[in-house]
Chains A and B, each alone.
Chain A
């Protein structure tokens, strides 16, 4: 740093400003994070403590409304709704994590590989084949895939998670591919090539860290979709099976009491909505944070 110290200070202020904008959190991200934490807390607490045993049947206290004994009321067997909501949060989170995990771990490499292949004359067609196969997969709705899975294997949480995960692969592949193309076209990758780095090394060292933010945003949105898909599948009887508590199944069982005890449908519905909203808001917030345009605006 041979430069006159007073000269370099002009550059210093811009860096400070950028750091400041990075620290500034946006509202949708905060609300999203709070909702996600709420769901996670419910699931964690359920391992240690629940108001009642989830399978404890109490015929006397069936179909009750909120009371001090049963905060969120009881179902047709007199089981505590709050307990079931807490147990259901576990399934919801597990399905989200496993499905998104499958999609990220398979989809992201597919996208990166397709983009890397497209650079070579011999790989253009291979890249095209990969992405068209991806498009075909995209044409299958998650629900349809899950029905097929449920028919082939037995209906259950496992096949449902895998089906939802596979259906989310194309999204990740596309995001990873477009991000990789962008990174591969950048001058620092040209510099890495001129420094003799191999294609796999460039993919790991340069591409992965630079597309991570896009993949994370996609993951939070996919998480919301998975939560919704699992609830839908359980509602149809293709997902989580009795007697494991699940929000989707609670919603389905509450159907017959919709006119007499609507509260039974309210709680699982509300929590599904909160979980989906939480992940979507969080994803939106992340997107805003990572958006290069936003960063440029903070860096006047």
Chain B
């Protein structure tokens, strides 16, 4: 064994009963104290690789190859559970994606950290409480003294992830594996968490294997990047190398489609197919040096977004003209309170999900609603579509007063207003064929079957799906394809207003670009008014002409997208923009 901290050789993983492996001859190494990013889309095998290193592979999977870790004698893949248990936490430990399900909900935080210390027995029993406090302080837990006695449900997502990090680092492992540790967190929380991981890992001089699908995140944390695609490692290199001079076609595609600032000759986002003409992320600090071989039509510089926007005939310009006509959607003074507690236990005061919200949307406008989780953005959508009623205030869509609408008025409303939901895996009935799913809004209208089918066919073609798809079930499609089906269902009735609730947040980066491009096209083709809810400022910036920033049920700031991004007036907006990971920013600060 060399002096590498981690050495994976020819790791091949095959599911029981399957002939084709899901992981092909993966080899990688990590020197002590090195921070390496493992990047790839869902299904690329990055999590399997991490599980193999921890000896956590499910039994149905057959693995070949060797995984050796400094300080552990022998091959981890062949080791017995008993020796592995000793290795975990002492030599290597892991932070998982979902901090809620990774913690025991019935155990106090302090006890959960103490448990790890006690089992491994390197700390004397009487020193454990002190060590727990040290660990909580080291992950910058607010009020660490009292946090010890808190239960997981009393903490926010970010705090829970801090606890996970404290547990992972409790026995000073030499290797820390983070599996998408910030994917479930808000951007501002993610920024702090990434800083914290970097800080703690270098403080204890541990190696870091950081798994993510987000290139910008990897650039912020890691020194070296390993790119995985379809169960193989396709490229390895330093952050700078991968970002400025990617060798493999897939890496280039991933890079191109992650960059929401760059558009191709047709003003579309780059996808894996069009990535050839992508020039690389533009470094804000030194634009001239970093642009490299610029494509002729590439206007490119982020500092002058007007260059990109103004020639676009449909988005910003038209929307501003339309403002003068009476708005299509008018929301004034809307509040929504949720009562918490049951019939007998009335403990808490009502939760104010929305507090005195007012805004209006002109016909043809593209409005983005941005906010972190709990800001009330989804509640607005529910109220607009009549799925939920406001506690007070008025909502008008077209000439329907939504808050007091009868069920027949709501039916009319829903013919004009359709929704694309967030999770393409949850929003399609698993037991229905695609043709039935897409034609559902038409059935409600009482349309004849033949006409329905031709409309469905037409719509599926419009979202770039084969008409063969009609007879299949949702599970036979990938996430991006499912989201196309969802969009087809929303547009099949030819609504005037399309409401999209985080439609790309569950998708892989490469698929995200395709779906966003499709959405842009359809909004133009069908002259739709778009309401786009997202936590991702980059996506909103690309797609929307105007934006509303929300926090805790209030509108913090609103205005045209360019204004808000160029000159945010509120601190909150500024922190949100600063926290959004961007390729260019990350590259500028990369070592």
Residues of A within 8 A of B (CB): 1-4, 6-11, 13-18, 20, 24, 186-188, 190-198, 201, 205-206, 209-210, 297-298, 300
Q: Which residues of B contact A205 (CB under 8 A)?
A: 429, 432, 436, 440
Instruction: Decide yes or no: A8 and B478 within 8 Å by CB, A1-B464, A187-B421, A195-B444 being known contacts.
Output: yes
* Cβ of B71 under 8 Å from chain A: no
Docked CA distance A18–B432 (Å): 17
Q: A15 contacts B60, CB within 8 Å?
A: no
A-B pairs, 6 with minimum CB distance: A11-B478, A195-B441, A196-B444, A187-B426, A187-B427, A209-B431
Instruction: Decide yes or no: A4 and B273 within 8 Å by CB, A196-B441, A300-B48 being known contacts.
Output: yes
Chain B interface: which size bin? Answer: 35 or more
Instruction: Decide yes or no: A1 and B481 within 8 Å by CB, A11-B43, A13-B22, A17-B18 being known contacts.
Output: yes
Q: Which residues of B contact A24 (CB under 8 A)?
A: 17
* Cβ of B480 under 8 Å from chain A: yes
- Among B190-242, those with CB < 8 Å from A are 230
Instruction: Pick out which of these stretches binds chain A: B136-144, B167-175, B412-420.
Output: B412-420
Docked CA distance A202–B58 (Å): 38
Q: Which residues of A contact B465 (CB under 8 A)?
A: 1
Q: Which residues of B contact A2 (CB under 8 A)?
A: 273, 464, 514
Q: A20 contacts B17, CB within 8 Å?
A: yes
Docked CA distance A8–B42 (Å): 11
* Cβ of B153 under 8 Å from chain A: no
Q: Which residues of B contact A300 (CB under 8 A)?
A: 15, 22, 48, 58, 60-61
Q: Which residues of A contact B41 (CB under 8 A)?
A: 10
* Cβ of B445 under 8 Å from chain A: yes
Docked CA distance A18–B43 (Å): 14
Instruction: Decide yes or no: A4 and B272 within 8 Å by CB, A20-B17, A187-B421, A197-B443 being known contacts.
Output: yes
- Among B13-40, those with CB < 8 Å from A are 15, 17-18, 20, 22
* Cβ of B430 under 8 Å from chain A: yes
Q: A7 contacts B432, CB within 8 Å?
A: no
Q: Whole-angstrom distance from the CB of B253 to the nearest CB of chain A?
A: 8
Q: B445 contacts A196, CB within 8 Å?
A: yes
Q: A194 contacts B415, CB within 8 Å?
A: no
Q: B464 contacts A188, CB within 8 Å?
A: no
Q: In the complex, which residue of chain B has the Cβ closest to the Cβ of A208? A: B431
Docked CA distance A274–B230 (Å): 49
Q: Which residues of B contact A15 (CB under 8 A)?
A: 475-476
Q: B418 contacts A210, CB within 8 Å?
A: no
Q: B414 contacts A194, CB within 8 Å?
A: yes
* Cβ of B428 under 8 Å from chain A: yes
* Cβ of B98 under 8 Å from chain A: no
A-contact bits for B376-415, CB 8 A (1 contact / 0 none)? 0000000001010000000000000000000000010011
* Cβ of B315 under 8 Å from chain A: no
Docked CA distance A115–B346 (Å): 24
Docked CA distance A84–B430 (Å): 47
User: Which of B41, B419, B478 counts the most chain A CB atoms within 10 A?
Assistant: B478
Q: Whole-angstrom distance from the CB of A212 to the nearest CB of chain B?
A: 8
15 A-B residue pairings within 8 Å (CB atoms): A1-B465, A1-B466, A3-B272, A7-B272, A8-B478, A11-B481, A15-B476, A191-B428, A191-B440, A196-B415, A198-B444, A205-B440, A209-B429, A297-B60, A300-B58
Q: A14 contacts B514, CB within 8 Å?
A: no
